[in-house]
Amino acid sequence: MAASSSGPVVPVAALAVAAYGAVLGSLFPIVVVLSVADVSGGLSVAADSGALVNTAQNVGSVAGILIAPSITMGIGRGRMMLVSGIGFAIASIACAIAPSLGWMLVARTLHGVFGGILPLMFMMIVMSSLRPGRGQFEGMTFFAGSTTLFFGMAASLGAMLVDAFDWRALFWAQAVAVIPYVIAASRVLPGETGRPETLRDVDWETYLPLTTGLGMLVVALSEGERHFWLDAWWVSALCLGGVVLTGFAVHGLLAKQGRKLLVLDVFRRPTFTWGILLSVFFRFGTMFVIFVVPSFLGRLQGLRPSETGQVLMLMTPAAAVGLAAAWALARRVDSRWLLSAGLACFALAAWSCVGIGPDWAIDQLRVAALIAGVGLALFSVGVLRFAVIGATMVDGPSVGIVFNLARVLGNIAGLAILMHLVAEREKAHSAVLVEALAATSGETAQRLAATGAALSRFSADPAAAENGALAALGRAATGQAFTLAFADALGVTAVVLTLGAILVWALPRIPLEGAANLQGSPS
């Protein structure tokens, strides 16, 4: 009776182990994304083919996230952590020894399956072990930290491994890093064996079409820009097939009686639905890490991840400050302030880069990195507050599934939108610049003559000097078009984020964390 009155025992060890797993499952996918050029070179494939390595990981993540709660119910949380850790280690080794792209894609898909489960297990243990008002908020804050705090380290970590060893070290490091997780997972929650009989009732008729449909959409969104979207028939086919299969699975969930893969009633809570929508569509902090800085500095300045990491590393201490601020503010102010402040930080970081130019390098992006890091932490904690408020033991696994799917799909959708916007604006600016740089233009002729005269000092061949001048002018025009396109994309992003920071106040208000504590305490 005493134990009952004081509440369930908090599995501190299991929470600590799961938090470490969440770091592994969130950090290393970004590490590989930023180092995919080295992976492509190591496998001797083109960059477009090498990008499939990341796409396969995302498809696997979707598959793992969807099935994990059902298997966990059957074997227990501790055993599920152990299985996912062992699977992650084996898949990491398979990636590390991959002799070809085909092998790598299969291994990387399995890598995504088990890697996607790691953060989800932390969220599920927090929601099932910590009550609202009795540690759940603190646990969710740690979850937000484990999945965002170390993003800024990804570029430097990947560069360090590749430079010290080779691209295979990206995966050997993951196999080694997960060993402590496997050992610790084998010792936590030893008395929890699950309910094996539930494994017979796993909702495979929903899981298979839903996983296939979402996987097809992931491939289409990830590869569409590289293959000119609707110009490639298979991109259209994947989009259509993905929508049809996903719709079929959702219809089956609505009509199904008994145990379901997902409890769709969670979407009846406006706070959850808005939290998921925000999580999908406002992920500028992550985009800053995996697209804005690497793409701009990599293309214009030729910087490698080891150098771009000098900018992105600043996001880690900034995110730590943001997490501490969010933890303190959630007890004193409306959680909409966290969302609004996070989106405002994203908007400010984007606005500060709108004047971006071809001469921008590391120093010009440091302030934006700091602001984006603070915003990433504030937004992550705020959106989690909205997503999990009101969750119960019955629908908690569904909340975990949908929220973690939103993390994966939000990154993919955000990257696809930004890449397409930059590509389209670059085409428009290139057309204008080409017309402005017509051979009949007096200004163009003067520039070519000046550049040719400078090059002629190093070559006795006038034709070679002229060709070199034309090539230099072409590179300058291309760089200018790309810079203007990036500025346009950041301007649009800044406007959308600014509107988002204002419109979040239309969301329903949720209780302060302090008020939740009072409501959650026994009378």
Specify the pLDDT at position 523: 34
Q: Is 98 helix (H, G, I), strand (E, B) or coil?
A: coil
Sign of CA dihedral 159, 164, 167, 170: negative
pLDDT for the residue numbered 519: 44
- Which residue in the block uniquely carries the two structure tokens 């569509």? 281
Domains of the chain, residue spans: 10-189, 203-260, 266-515
* CATH architecture of the domain with range 266-515: Up-down Bundle (1.20)
Distance of CA 293 to the CA centre of its chain: 15
DSSP labels for 302-363?
Answer: ---HHHHHHHHTTHHHHHHHHHHHHHHHTTTS-HHHHHHHHHHHHHHHHHTTTT--TT--HH
For residue 352, CA distances in Å to 317, 359, 374, 484 come to 20, 15, 15, 15
Class of residue 319 by CB neighbours under 10 A (exposed 0-12, middle 13-18, buried 19+): buried
How many Å apart are CA 315 and CA 330, to the nearest integer? Answer: 22
One-letter-per-residue 3-state SS of 125-172: HHHHHCECCEEHHHHHHHHHHHHHCCHHHHHHHHHHHHHHCCCCHHHH
- How far, in Å, CA of 372 to CA of 393, rounded? 34
Q: Do domains 10-189 and 266-515 have the same CATH topology?
A: yes
Instruction: Please tell me the predicted confidence (pLDDT) of residue 522.
Output: 37
Query: Do 213 and 59 contact (CB within 8 A), yes or no?
Result: no
Please give the structure tokens belonging to residue 501. Answer: 């920071």
- 263-270 contact pairs (CB < 8 A, 24+): 263/394, 263/395, 263/397, 263/398, 264/398, 265/395, 266/391, 266/395, 266/398, 266/399, 266/402, 269/389, 269/390, 270/507, 270/508
Q: What is the pLDDT of residue 319?
A: 93
Q: Tell me if 33 sits within 8 A of 54, measured CB to CB.
A: yes
Report the chain (523 residues): mean pLDDT per 10 consecutive residues: 48 92 94 91 88 93 94 92 96 96 95 95 89 80 90 92 94 96 93 86 91 94 78 88 94 82 87 86 77 81 86 92 91 88 92 85 88 92 87 83 90 85 84 65 57 55 55 67 86 90 88 56 37
User: Which fold is adopted by the domain 10-189?
Assistant: Growth Hormone; Chain: A; (1.20.1250)
Q: Within 10 Å of residue 88's Cβ, how many Cβ atoms? A: 30
Task: Give the whole-angstrom CA distance, residue 194 versus residue 402.
Answer: 22
Residue in 38, 2, 504 with CA at minimum distance from that of residue 298: 38
How many residues appear in the chain?
A: 523
Q: What is the pLDDT of residues 266-290, one digit of tens each?
A: 888 888 888 888 888 777 778 887 7
Residue 9: how many CB atoms within 10 A of its CB? 8
